[in-house]
Amino acid sequence: MTGLLRCPSCGAGMVLGRATNKNKDGSKRVLEYYVCGAWKNKGTAACNSNGIRTNYADEYVLSKISHFTNNDMLIKDVVDRINAVNKDVSSPLQEYNQIKKSIDAASNKKDKVLSLFEDGVLSKSELVDRLAKINEEKQNLENRLSPIERQLNQSNKAEISFKMVKEVMTNFEKVYKESITTEQRKHLLQLIINKITIKDRKKIDTIQIQLNNNVVSRFTLKGEEKSSDDDFSSPFLVCFEI
């Protein structure tokens, strides 16, 4: 789960940590935790440990994945919600157009400020200050625009089907159980999980599953035997929580 779990305080990836406890009989036992990566690298100046026991986290995540995989109603609900969002582009399209207008307005402001400087109305220091503010405003708008553009592009993709999601999740669970090494299992989890968030009380909050071309190709049948009818020849990415 290292790298997938996110620190509830700073959002950094959680890494493996160990603590040694002494038993009543004097013997020692080593306990494993997932701890904040920023805390482990930089100490309390960066964050707190926010440790969560590895055995609890591993068992909880696998249990949630298994429960989702074997519950057709949950899968259908997720598929319906994803397809409904992809079809409804009216709201993001309006926001996209508004942000584009704001970016154009910021560019016009920049031209006006330069004109004022050339006319001697603004000093060089005033010019630098105003341009810095306009550039920051424009950058913030462009940062907001990027995810909306991705959403609008995604709306033109093929619908996600119940059959595909069920097949991917079922085959993932099968392959995971058949995996022998820790590294194999870690790789499989990193393929299908985007991120895991933790509550302040050191409990798992959300598990975000990701479906993309690589995941679908890895966990569905290939060639003529391919059982899924979904066409994902173009790049795509879908994330949902379980």
The candidate with the shortest Cα–Cα distance to 236, out of 143, 149, 164, 158, is 158
158 falls in which pLDDT band (50, 70, 90)?
low
More confidently predicted of 68 and 149 = 68
227 falls in which pLDDT band (50, 70, 90)?
very low
Cβ burial 3-28 (10 Å sphere, 16+ → b, else e): bbbbbbbeebbbbebeeeeeeeeeee
Point out which residues pair with 192 in neighbouring strands: none
**What mean pLDDT is reported for the chain?**
83
Q: Is the pLDDT of residue 222 over 80?
A: no
The candidate with the shortest Cα–Cα distance to 194, out of 151, 144, 237, is 237
Q: Give the list of residues 6+ apart from residue 86 with CB closer than 8 angstroms, or none.
A: 154, 155, 157, 159, 160
Judge contact between 26 and 16, C-beta under 8 A: no
Q: How far apart are CA 128 and CA 71, in angstroms?
A: 59
Task: Give φ, ψ of 33 to 5 degrees.
Answer: -135, 155
H or E, element range at 14: strand 14-22
- Give the model confidence (pLDDT) of 55-114 as tens digits: 999 999 999 999 999 999 999 999 988 887 766 655 567 778 888 888 888 888 888 888
